[in-house]
Each structure stands twice: as structure tokens, then as C-alpha cells.
């Protein structure tokens, strides 16, 4: 009888140990994944620098998402923004960079982001009138150590 109780006790301890190992092991892995995701979100801001005195002066007028045919995780995002007032090209560039950061975060790290900038009265169905910014992560795993940012301005 004592041996039977002893056996059940050891089985209970062993099962408890396994359950706690899986519970705490999985919990620590999910925390590692969260940290990694937070690093990706903050790294977009580290990669695309905007001035500390930046003020958002644009309005988003249209957003289109294009998915890949073979790879559904592949996303191109085109965002059309407009300005009612702007001081100079530097302000437009800073706002386009901010639009890239916001789009990257809200659309869960697309592969390619294109920002097209217009004056507020311009037809957004036509070519951009102020400028264009394109951000491309060079691999589909969103490794932000490899990226390309191109900015074109209309004079």
C-alpha cells in the first residue's frame, strides 16, 4: 500500500514537472517573439530617420494593397497623400518618410511601400505632383538591415 502511494506521488510530481516545464518554456518563447517583433517595429524608426521637430502636415487620400500571386505574404502598399500647406521640399520629404513608418507599422511590414504626394486640389488618379518615396525591404522576411529608400521630387 505504501509503495502504491509512493508511486502515485512520484507520478504526480513528474507530471507536474512536465506541465510546468511546458508552460514556462512556452511562455518564455512567446516573450522572446514579442521582443523580436518590438525590435522590428522600432527598427523601422531607426532605419528611416525623421527630424525631432517633425510635424505631420499631410492627409492620406488613398491606400491600395497588392498581394503576390505565389506568395500571399508578399505585399505592395501604395499610399497617396496630399498637402494643403507646406513650406519646402524638406517638409514634404519628412512627411513621406513618416507615412512610410506609419504604413509599415499598420500594414504589418509590407515588402514594398510607395508614397505618392500631391497638392490638395490635384487629381490623385494622375501622376504624383509633389514627390514619390519608395521603401523596399530586400528580402521577404523583413530584414531591415537590408532595405532601399528612394525619394523623387517634382520641381
- 87: CATH: 3.10.310
Does the pTM surpass 0.85? The reply is no
Q: For 87, which DSSP code?
A: S
Residue 95 falls inside a structural domain: yes
92 occurs within a structural domain: yes
So what's the pLDDT on residue 1? 67
- Residue among 98, 92, 150, 88 nearest 118 (CA): 92
Query: Which residue, 64, 54, 140, 134, is CA-closest to 98?
Result: 54
- Is 34 among the domain residues? no
Predicted local distance difference test score (pLDDT) of residue 40: 44
Residue 30, pLDDT score: 38
Residue 85 pLDDT? 85
Residue 87 counted as domain residue: yes
Looking at the domain assignment, is residue 15 inside a domain? no
In a domain, 29, yes or no: no
CA–CA dist 140, 121 (Å, integer): 36
pLDDT confidence of residue 39? 44
Q: What is the tally of structural domains in the chain?
A: 1
The residues of the chain scoring below 50 in pLDDT are 26-42
For residue 108, the cross-strand partners are none
Look at residue 45 in the predicted model and tell me its pLDDT: 81
Domain that holds residue 87: 58-153
> What pLDDT is stored for residue 10 in this prediction?
64
Query: Would you say residue 53 lies in a domain?
Result: no
Is 131 a domain residue? yes
Amino acid at each position: 500500500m505504501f509503495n502504491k502511494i509512493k508511486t502515485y506521488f512520484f507520478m504526480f510530481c513528474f507530471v507536474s514537472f512536465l506541465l510546468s516545464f511546458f508552460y514556462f518554456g512556452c511562455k518564455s518563447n512567446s516573450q522572446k517573439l514579442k521582443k523580436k517583433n518590438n525590435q522590428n517595429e522600432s527598427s523601422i524608426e531607426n532605419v528611416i530617420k525623421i527630424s525631432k521637430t517633425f510635424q505631420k502636415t499631410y492627409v492620406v487620400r488613398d491606400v491600395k494593397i497588392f498581394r503576390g500571386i505565389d506568395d500571399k505574404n508578399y505585399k505592395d502598399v501604395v499610399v497617396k497623400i496630399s498637402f494643403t500647406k507646406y513650406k519646402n521640399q524638406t517638409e514634404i520629404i519628412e512627411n513621406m518618410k513618416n507615412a512610410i513608418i506609419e504604413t509599415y507599422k499598420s500594414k504589418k511590414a509590407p515588402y514594398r511601400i510607395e508614397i505618392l504626394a500631391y497638392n490638395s486640389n490635384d487629381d490623385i488618379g494622375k501622376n504624383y505632383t509633389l514627390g514619390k518615396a519608395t521603401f523596399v525591404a530586400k528580402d521577404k522576411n523583413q530584414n531591415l538591415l537590408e532595405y532601399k529608400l528612394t525619394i523623387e521630387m517634382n520641381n
